[in-house]
Each structure stands twice: as C-alpha cells, then as structure tokens.
Structure 1
Amino acid sequence: MTRQSSHTALLWIVAVGFFMQALDTTIVNTALPSIARDLHAAPLAMQSIVVAYTLTMALLTPASGWLADRFGTRRVYFVSISVFVVGSLACAGAHSLNQLVFARVLQGIGGSMLLPIGRLAVLRAVSGEAYVSALAMISVAGQVGPILGPTLGGWFVQSFTWHWIFLINVPIGAAGLYAVQRFLPHDTLHDAPPFDFIGCGLLSLCMVAFSLALDPPVQTHRGALSAALFTLAAISAFAYIPYARHRRNPLFKLALFREPNFSVGLIGNLLCRIGSSAVPFLLPLMMQLELGYSPLHSGLMMLPIAIAGTVSKRWIARLVKRYGYDTFLLVNTALVGASIVAFAAFSPSLPLFAEIVILAIFGACNSMQFAAMNSVTLKGLSKQDAGSGNSLFSMVQMLAIGLGVSIGGSLVQVFEGHFGSASLGFKLSFACMGVVTLLSGAVFRRLDSAPRTSAPTPAAR
C-alpha cells in the first residue's frame, strides 16, 4: 500500500469512529419516550441514560493520550471500537432502565477514546501541511452524525423498534474493526510518563458527585443527599489544587489558569453549554409528549438546527475578524439564550414556519458560538500547555452536556409538580435554561481584548 493510500485509509477509519460517536450522541434523543414506555419508566427518567454516556466520556478522555502512548494507537483504537460495539449490543438487549444505564456506561467507555485517539493517530501519521485538511475531512463525519441522528432515530422507532438505534452501530463498528486490522499500521510505542491516577480520581469524584447532587438516585432525603454530594464535589476540587501544585506532572497543570482567556473561556463554555445542551434532550420530549408529534416528525424537526449549524460555520471567521471575539460572543450569546427562551412559545397553535425559523436561528447561532468559544479558550495557550488544556476543555464540554440534561430534566419535574402541568413545566424550563445561557455573556465580558485579525478555525463541538 502506498503512503498516500495508507493516509486515506487512516482518515476514513478515524472518520467512521467519529461518525459513530457523534451519531450516538444525538440518535437517542428522539427515541426516549418509546424507550421509556417499553421499559416502564417515566420519560424524564431517561435523562440518566444520556448523562451516563456523556459523564463516562468526560471521565476517561484525559487518559486517552496516555493509553495510546502506553499500548499503541492501533491497539487502543481497536479496543475502543470493540467496547463501543459491545456496549451498543448491551443497550439493545437491556430490559430495564438500570441495565440500559450500565450498558450506556460501557458504550461511553469505548466512545470516549474514538475521537481523541483518532486525532492522535492522524497527527502522528500526517504531515503538518496536510493536517488541517485531514481534520477538516474528519470533522465532516462529526457534522453528518448530528444531522442524521435525530431523524434516523425517529425513523427506526416508528418503522421498527428503538433497539435499532443501537444495533446500527454493529455493522458500522464491524467495518471499522476490519479496516483497523487491515489498513492501520502498527505504530511505535512512545515513552509514556506516569499517569496521574490520583489527580484523575479527584477530578472524577468531583464531576460524579456534582452530577449526582443535581439528580440524587434516591427518593428519600434528597435534599440532605444533594448537600452532602455538593460538599464532596467541592472538597475533591479544592483538594486537587495543593496536590497539583506539589506534583511534578499533574493531570492538569495549574499554570493553565494563568492564561486569562482560558479561565474565562472555560467558565463561559460551561454555562453556555449547560443551557444549549438541554435543548436536544427537552425538545423531542416536549414535541412528542405535549405537541403530539410522532418520533419521526420530532426527528425531522431537529434538521433545521443541524443544517443551519453546518451552513453557519463558514460565517464565523469573517464575523470574528470584523467585530472581535468579545463583541461577537456578547451578541451571539444573547441570540442563543433568546432562541432557547423562544422554545417556550412552541404550541399546537404556533405556525410550523415560525417553529422552523426559531430552530434555524438557534442552530446557526449555537454552532458559531461553539466555534468562537473553542478558539478563544485555547488560542492563548503555549505549545507545551495546548494538549493538557485541550483535554481539560474536552472534559468540561462533556460535563456540560450531562449537566444540561440533568438540570433541564429536573426543572421540568419540579415545575410540573408545583403547577400540575407538564406543558408549563417544559415552557418554564426552556426559559430558565435560556437565562443560564445568557449569564455566560457576563462571563465573556471579562475576556482580554483579542486581535480582530485572528479568527477561529473550525473545531469539533
């Protein structure tokens, strides 16, 4: 096999892995009411299967680079796809909510390695000049997944059963495994520094405790348990600071936070993504449970978000170059937050055209928001800190998705219990999540002035 054909095969292998990971993040949402009925669970209780998947990926992302250095990218990538496929089969075979949550954790273990290990394999195999083009090709797979996911999930549920949203990963994964064995070369193992298991454990404990505190797993003494879990999360987070200060190679160096835009961008990302991440979870539920849409109809209604998001990526560089990061993020954050609040207006009497316009505005602004936030957060880091900063940033992204789903679902239950109306519960929850997004605008006001000539490069969400 020639060098060029070997690189092409590598890109296709990584693109397939990225596609599976991106598809599985969105395909589940439109199937949640059907899964709930089949497993005899409340639809809003399905938030646990989304949180389990995203939180698992957040916990394991920092270990991906070390595993690749320790065992080789080819071997780790093969195992990642295998675990993902086994987890998908376990999801399809689940007969209870608890079984499905466990299977989603297993699926998340495999999914957490697909994108970072794939990027690393491309970085090591492709020259610097071709690396940007290679990442652009891979990112296309990540864009196609969210476009197809909701509609494909709705079609599977309506035409077959919800089990097929997980079984679809089996043939795709099998093709990926064959391609890895056939085309991916054996890479040379790199000297891996000792992995910071203690630091990873402290941060993992913080994320798990904080997530569980928002949605305690028991029905009695929920307030006391939430308070205890919040306290545990705070203790583990603060314990990491002196630990990292005295360790030679901590998981994440505290020096990262000396770059002011990194700290501001990280907090702003967390708040903004919490609000926007609740949308893909709450919208299909509201459309099916309150507006009477079929699974396929609710899946098709997600298309304007994905399509507008893909089209708007070409605008971001010019807008940031003209107005600067600070002004752009302030205005665009307001638009994202306002469009989330506007989802509260969805009702049987609202014209379809109006719904599509709101969905498209959210999709376009949200996509540009991600690209600008990604760029402004990472662009000031040194080459030595870029890898560690990107890993921490990826953790925060996945954590925000889980928190958005947890908070959004919990708000619907609280408002429904208080007012006795599920419809009002959804409307008020969208209003609250929109306000959370708007709060991130206050954070972005603290950005250091960025040169107007700098523009973000397209980045994965």
Structure 2
Amino acid sequence: MPAPLSCADATPAAVLPTRGFRTIALIVASAMFMEQLDATILATALPTMARDFGVGAPAMSIALTSYLISLAVFIPASGALADRFGSRTVFRAAIAVFVAGSIFCALAPSLSWLVAARLLQGLGGALMLPVGRLVLMRSVARKDLVSAMSWMLVPALIGPVLGPPVGGLIVTYADWRWIFYINVPIGLLGMVLVSLFIDETKGEAVGRFDYRGFFLSGISLGTLLFGFEMASRDGEGLAALGLAAIGLVFGLFYVHHARRHPVPILDLSLMKVPSFGTSVIAGSLTRIAQGAHPFLLPLMMQLGFGLSAAMSGAITIATALGSLLMKALAPRLLKRFGFRDVLVANGVIASLGYGLCAAFRPDWPLGLIFAILVACGFFMSLQFTAYNIVAYDRIEPRQMSAATSFYTTFQQLMLSLGICVAALSLHVSMQVGDRPQPELADFSAAFVVVIAISLLATIWNWRFAPGAGSDISGHDARARGLKRLATEAADGGDRSL
C-alpha cells in the first residue's frame, strides 16, 4: 500500500504518473452515478411503497426530504474529514455507508425505518460528492482537469435522466426493494477500484473539528431545505416560512461564528477568491434550472402530453446523449475560447435551450423535441464542466478540501432548490388558473421562471477575468502561439523588404 501523500505533494500539479486520469475520473463518476440514480429513481416507486407501508402517497415525500436534509447537514464536514483521515479512506468509507443505507432501505418494514435508513444513506452521499471531487483534484494534473471533469460529469448527468424510467421498470416488473439492492454490486465494485487505483492523500494538519459550526450550519441548511420543500404543498405555507426563518437565523449565527473561528467548517473567506466566488454565485443560479429540468420534463411528458412513463423516459434520455457528446468537445472549446467567453455565450444558449421546453406541445414532432433536448444536454453539461473547473483556478493546495466541501454544499443546495422552485411555480400557476391538475400552461410557466433565474447568471459570468483558468485550458498558451506566429510573419515581411 503506498504511503499517504501530504497536501503539498497532492496538488493537481503533482500527479501520480501511474494513474490515468480517465480511470480515476470514472471511478469517482461511478460512485456519483450511483448516488444520482438513487436520488431520482425513488420518486417513481413512492405510490407502490406507500401501499406497502399503509400510508398515503403524500406522506412518502419524507423519504425524499430526509435524504436531502442529511446531505445538507453532513456535506460541510467532508473536507475536514478527508484532511484528517485521508481522501481515499473517507471516499471508500462513504461508499460503504451508502451501500449499508441502501440495504437497510431495501429491508424497511415501515416508513419510519425507511426514513432512518435514508438518513444513513444521505450521510454516505454527503461524503461521496465532495470527497470524490477532492480525489480528482488531488490526483489529476491541471492540464488534464477539463478532460477528467468531462468524464466524471457524464454519469452524474445520466443518473437523473435514467432514474424515472429505470424506477418504472423495476416497480412494474419486480419488487420496489430492488431499487436499493442494485446499489450493492455497484458500491462493492467501487470500493475495490478505489483501493486499487486511488492513492491516499491527506491535507495539512488543522485545529480541532469545528463542532459549533457543524451544528449551526447543519440546522441552517437542513431547515432551509425542508422549508423550500414544504412551500409547494397545500396548507403548509406558514410552516415553510417558519422553517425558512429558522434557517436564516441559524445561518446568520453561523456567519458570525465563521468570521471568528480559525478553521470554520464552511470557510466563507473562499468567496473572496475571484474565480471561486464568481463560480459559486453564477453556478448556483444556473443549477436551479438544472435541478428543475429532470423534475418538470417527465411530468410534462406524462401529464401534459399523455405519454407513457416508458416513452417519456425514452425522450428525456436525449439530454444524457448530449452530455456524452460534450465529453469529447469541451477541452477543445475551452482551449479555443477560454473559460469566460464560453461561460458567457454558452450560458445564454444553454438557458434558452431549456427555455424552449416551455414551448413544447403534443403536436411537435418527437424527433424535433429529441434533437432540442440533445442540444440542451450538450450546452448545459459544457456549462457545468467549465464552472466546476474554473472554480479551483486560484485555490491554494491547503484550501482544496475546504473549497470542495463548500462548493458541493452550495451545488446540492441549489439543485434541490431548483426542484422546489419548479414545484412552487407549478403550484402557483395551477392556483392562478384554478386547475386541480397541472396542464401544459402550468409547465410552461414553471420553465419560464427557472430559466429567467438561470439567465441572471450572465451578469456574474462577465465578471470572470479574461484569463481565468488559462493555465488549465491552455487558452492563453494558444493565444501566445498565434501572436508569436504573427510576429514572425511580420518580421519576415520586413526582412523581405
């Protein structure tokens, strides 16, 4: 077993030559795929599970929110744990906890048992997300980060697309408990591959764990998420406001605490790093659309178009195909145009592409809808590839673990918020139109709301420095090469005179 690396030895610039970045990226991606697939596949089975547990289908929403709350509470601790115990050890343990939680979910005889198991599963997912990214950042050279991130993001984007149709097939042809059992072989294989191909890296020695910050941030993020989720339910608006207020108060307490703690669990000073802070804000606005899309589109296809679950899944898988096409082209596009120009132009294209979904109608050719969704998947996947890389452009090695946990916390929060904003917009549109069930106009209104929020990210995309991430993308090097060739050509012309 190789000796652990210190943080100074484990920066993206100092990479282990024996490890191919594609291998590492795909190992990390397999764990994230498992987590993303599980997060979306469950929704399809909720009515069946409700009948087995003897409760109403609305009561099953706690099975979704308990997992999200667990993510929100435990993600901030991931960076400190990875620094203390090693990123490989924590990543492997996170997969094991997630698999254990999946087994307990499959064995659940009641809703209360399922909720407890989902909380355990959420603990594993909370550590897998940021520590997996940290493993990649510490194991891949800067010049390979764009390609590695492209490989890693594809399974993470495919998971939410495959979830609903796979869930439908399992519920239709097998027992719903297999939704959780399928995680077991994937997780066990992932643990073996992590042990074989990923080396141990630890961060610099830090002070005591920030227990007070962990408590304050956990209460704040957990109640905010739960409040967002409740806002879309009938008759629970007051409770949602109360939870959101509690979350904001504890959030203010945390900000006060973090300014005085030497090593806070969520380091707010990272927002002062230009590329990181800008990526967090712009990426958060864009992720609201990304979180809403897998929620709205399948419902629109089934309730608005009258398509079957299988047909809806076959159409919505188009976005996954688009993300696969992006994998090969993203490095070339970023090298050619640079991070800022790609984020500005592509951000508008990606948002407006998702906005076209508001205009979808049953008389549109399905081939045209499929082609538009392929383009949507391509452009939005390119946008998140760029955000996820340029965020770490000026992050110091000693800050890497704190940055990954901070970034992933907001990433998960905004994806979840996207679902809540979409559900709330849908609910408000139904109330305005006095409709008991959502119709096409309601879905169109919800798409317009989330896309309007996503387009606001353009303001912050312009704030990236022109040369942001240039040593990662190679954009400046290309520009210098062209300038040198032009100079040589000019010199040659002068000599010819």
TM-score (norm 2): 0.76
Alignment partner for residue 445 of structure 2, among 416, 428, 435? Answer: 428
TM-aligned CA distance change 1:384 to 1:159, over 3 Å = same
Alignment-mate amino acid for residue 25 of structure 1: Q
TM-aligned CA distance change 1:426 to 1:250, over 3 Å = same
Q: How does 1:362-373 map to 2 (within 5 A)?
A: 362-373=376-387
Shift of 1:278: 0.9
2:466 corresponds to 1:449:
yes
Determine if contact 2:21/2:144 at 8 Å carries over to the other structure.
no
Partner Cα distance (1:378, 1:189) in 2: 16
2:260 corresponds to 1:246:
yes
Partner Cα distance (2:333, 2:137) in 1: 29
Larger Rg: 2
Shift of 1:343: 1.4
Matched residue, 1:23: 34
In structure 2, the residue corresponding to 1:246 is in which secondary structure? coil
TM-aligned CA distance change 1:108 to 1:15, over 3 Å = farther
Matched residue, 1:280: 294
Partner Cα distance (2:273, 2:56) in 1: 45
Bigger mean CA offset, 396-405 vs 24-33: 24-33
Partner Cα distance (1:415, 1:33) in 2: 24
Shift of 1:436: 1.4
Partner Cα distance (2:111, 2:430) in 1: 22
Matched residue, 1:36: 47
Shift of 1:222: 3.6
TM-aligned CA distance change 1:390 to 1:330, over 3 Å = same
Shift of 1:32: 2.6
Q: Deviations over 1:209-262 (max 9, x none)?
A: 222232338978744433333333332223233322222222244432222332
TM-aligned CA distance change 1:73 to 1:242, over 3 Å = closer
Shift of 1:85: 1.8
Q: Deviations over 1:10-63 (max 9, x none)?
A: 997995564243234135536634423542688888765445434433432332
Q: How does 1:287-326 map to 2 (within 5 A)?
A: 287-326=301-340
Matched residue, 2:492: none
Partner Cα distance (1:187, 1:443) in 2: 34
Q: How does 1:336-347 map to 2 (within 5 A)?
A: 336-347=350-361
TM-aligned CA distance change 1:340 to 1:143, over 3 Å = closer
Matched residue, 2:390: 376
Partner Cα distance (1:325, 1:121) in 2: 23
Matched residue, 1:229: 243
TM-aligned CA distance change 1:328 to 1:242, over 3 Å = same
Matched residue, 2:95: 81
Q: How does 1:58-457 map to 2 (within 5 A)?
A: 58-71=72-85, 76-94=90-108, 100-118=114-132, 142=156, 145=159, 149=163, 151-176=165-190, 193-216=207-230, 222-419=236-433, 420=435, 421-423=437-439, 424-450=441-467, 453=470, 456=473
How many equivalent residue pairs? 455
Structure 1, unaligned runs of 5 or more: none
Partner Cα distance (2:275, 2:28) in 1: 31
Partner Cα distance (2:457, 2:381) in 1: 16
Partner Cα distance (1:213, 1:410) in 2: 12
Bigger mean CA offset, 433-442 vs 176-185: 176-185
Bigger mean CA offset, 360-369 vs 408-417: 408-417
Determine if contact 1:20/1:169 at 8 Å carries over to the other structure.
no
Determine if contact 1:322/1:452 at 8 Å carries over to the other structure.
no
Shift of 1:357: 1.6
TM-aligned CA distance change 1:418 to 1:256, over 3 Å = same
Partner Cα distance (1:185, 1:308) in 2: 32
Structure 2, unaligned runs of 5 or more: 4-17, 475-497
Shift of 1:376: 3.0
